[in-house]
Structure 1
Amino acid sequence: MFCVILHFNSHLHKCMFVAALFMICEGFLVKGPSGPLIVPLGSSVVLPCYVDDPLPLKGLKVIWVRTDANTLVHVFQDYESRPDAQYQDYHDRAHFFTDKIKHGNFSLRLENVRAEDKGFYRCKVYTEQESDETLIQIKSVEHLMVSGSNHPVSAYVGEDITLNCFADSHIPPEEIDEVSWRKTDKNEIIQVLVFEKNKIIPADERYRHRVDFFTAEIPKGNFSLRLKSVRTEDKGVYMCQVFAGNFSANTTAVLEQLGFSVLHIIVLILCIAASGSAAAVCSVVSKTKIIKHN
């Protein structure tokens, strides 16, 4: 931005003398993002702060401040970054792109974003003549957490079981795009059951009519899987994966120690005993026939 001032000085009956005085008023405009930032929990985010034309490094100072908490986030002064001036919560988390500062880029990289990082940040740039600033808002720190059971599930053949999956998040269940249950075998991945766009979609035929969600619990974020009439081939690792917007998270459940119940064992013993008795009867009959024949 240039300011030009022309000064005219003339004397009557003499040749007009024009003196032009040019005063250059150097100015700059600090720019930021076009709107609030929405950041995934635990990720990194760049808070934009820049000018269109590079500024001289001599006398340049850049200060990042968290306005709502009145804490110093980071400082650039005397040609270098000053991490020693940072508030403790930002140690090793807030960084300048130091090599970009000479090009007019004063953006800040904030790593391992926490829920409490939500708020307003001011980037103020000083030169020897003037200063300007921009305000950046981290509007929300979104996250999606999925939990299950810490212990393997044991079951008997023919029994009904539940594999746990809970979406613990501020994201409403109606905004969850998809929940997918899969069995991860060594040689293949079997799609067991899918919840997509508020519809339950059966998957692999091996689980058809044997799996379901607890439909009444879905609004509470409960996407646990009910598996009926367990078979020996059902043993293995199951993954519940939840998708919501740009986020996804998963948990696993292990089904192990598939065996026979006491009732199954008693029936098996009786069958073996009955088979043994039948064999004994057949043996006696056979011997009787041999004796009579002789």
Structure 2
Amino acid sequence: MLGFFVQVPTGPLFIRLGGSVLLPCYVDQPLPMKRLRVEWTRTESNNLVHLFIYGESRPEEQHQDYYDRAHFFDDYVKDGIFSLRLDNLRAEDVGFYRCKVYSQKDVGETVVHIKDVEHLNIVSGPNHPISAYVGEDVTLTCSVDSHITPEKIEEISWRKKDKDGDILVLVFQKAKPLSSDERYRDSAEFFTAEIPKGNFSLRLKSVRTEDKGVYMCYVRNGRVSANTTVTIERLSFSTLHITIIVLCIIASGSALLLWYLIYCRSQNDSIGND
């Protein structure tokens, strides 16, 4: 019996040529980094799409067809997330991809199916990660091609990839936004006025350090679906935050010094009175 279980995708992924797609692969528990090996390959040709071994990605080992197009999220490996983003999609990318995970004596794998649906050429997002300051608002872009009206789209959902499974951030269903996971209930919103124009971008208000990660905008229309991903790669403190923290430290130190001086003076006065 395997010591871990590789999660299986619920169905095929439909892509937009020239866009990006996230191939999901994660396990039900974090795995020790020692001897951990993750291989993404094409099942038809066995070409290596990406290799992670000895604690780092080895892009020099991948097949030339995937140079600068296969992005692996090294920072999330420790959480049991081995998903792969494939950029600049081509017609020849359609097919089956195997994620195979080796951990000590155990091996697990899953297969992801990419399909191309030309008439579902609808979803697009940014092609680069986002950096932000803690406490500011961040926009995760997701737009829908104008030839499909929002009324005909059954569901738009934003999900955050997590080691315990996807977190539902916000969903737009039957032409109206619905509530999300309690962690995002008051901090995530659509641009309501832009929805009729096919803009389903998400605004995260007052981002926190834990908001860093990979987000997927998932679109479903009948039996077909498509998605795009946005990565919040870095969250740092702004100059204002740092200044406030420094001032707080200085103020605390000054208050402590003042208290000490008052205490010393009171002690001296007490000795003098004696």
What's the TM-score once normalised by structure 1's chain length? 0.50
- Cα deviation digits, residues 118-173 of structure 1 (max 9, x gap): xxxxxxxxxxxxxxxxxxxxxx9622331111122222222111001112263232
Matched, 1:224 2:201: yes
5+ residue gaps, structure 2, are 1-13, 17-90, 93-116
> Does residue 255 of the first structure (1) align with residue 222 of the second (2)?
no
Q: Which residue does the alignment assign to 2:161?
A: 184
- The one of 149, 171, 180 equivalent to 2:126 is 149
Cα deviation digits, residues 93-141 of structure 1 (max 9, x gap): xxxxxxxxxxxxxxxxxxx79xxxxxxxxxxxxxxxxxxxxxxxxxx96
How many pairs are equivalent?
160
Q: Tell me by how many angstroms 1:233 deviates.
A: 1.7
TM superposition shift of 1:253: 0.8
Decide which of 136, 144, 159 is 1:159's aligned counterpart.
136
Q: Output the amino acid matched with 1:174.
A: E
For residue 252 of structure 2, what is the aligned residue in structure 1?
A: 275
- Tell me whether 237-246 or 208-217 shows the greater mean CA deviation: 208-217
User: Structure 1 residue runs of 4+, over 4 Å off?
Assistant: none
1:290 Cα deviation from its structure 2 partner: 3.7
Shift of 1:262: 1.8
- Name which of 235, 242, 264 aligns with 1:287: 264
Q: Does 1:205 align with 2:193?
A: no
Higher CA-based Rg: 1
For residue 271 of structure 1, report the CA deviation from its aligned partner.
0.9
Q: How does 1:1-294 map to 2 (within 5 A)?
A: 142-168=119-145, 170-294=147-271
Question: TM (normalized to structure 2)?
Answer: 0.53
- Structure 2 vs 1, CA of residues 280 and 257 (structure 1 numbering), >3 Å: closer, same or farther? same
> What secondary structure sits across from 1:142 in the alignment?
helix
SS at 1:286 equivalent: helix
Asked if the contact 2:120–2:226 (Cα under 8 Å) also holds between the matched residues in 1, the reply is no
Q: How far apart in 1 are the matches of 2:218 and 2:123? A: 8
Identity over the aligned pairs, expressed in percent?
Answer: 57
Q: Where does structure 1 lack aligned partners over 5 or more consecutive residues?
A: 1-39, 43-111, 114-139
The amino acid of 1:158's aligned partner reads G
1:147 to 1:41, Cα distance in 2 relative to 1, 3 A: closer
Shift of 1:273: 0.7
Relative to structure 1, the CA distance from residue 280 to residue 141 in structure 2 (aligned partners, 3 Å threshold; closer, same or farther) is closer
Q: d(CA) in 2 for partners of 1:182 and 1:147?
A: 16
C-alpha distance in 1 between matches for 2:197 and 2:266: 74
Structure 1 residues 41 and 290: CA distance shift in structure 2, 3 A: closer
Q: Is residue 15–residue 226 contact of structure 2 (8 Å, CA) maintained in 1?
A: no
- The offset of 1:254, in angstroms, is 1.1
Classify 1:225/1:263 alpha carbon distance in 2 versus 1 (closer, same or farther; 3 Å). same
The CA deviation at 1:193 is 0.6
Q: Distance in 2 between matches of 1:148 and 1:141?
A: 18
Post-superposition shift, 1:212? Answer: 1.4
Partner Cα distance (2:196, 2:149) in 1: 8
Cα distance in 1 for residues equivalent to 2:181 and 2:145: 27
Q: Which has the higher contact order (CA 8 A, sep 6+)?
A: 2
Distance in 2 (alpha carbons) for counterparts of 1:144 and 1:185: 27
Distance 1:141 1:228, change over 3 A: closer
Quote how far apart the aligned CAs of 1:293 are. 4.4
- Look up the SS of the partner of 2:163 in the other structure: coil
1:52 aligns to what?
Answer: none
Considering only aligned residues, what root-mean-square deviation do their CA atoms show, in Å? 2.5
Amino acid at match of 1:256: E
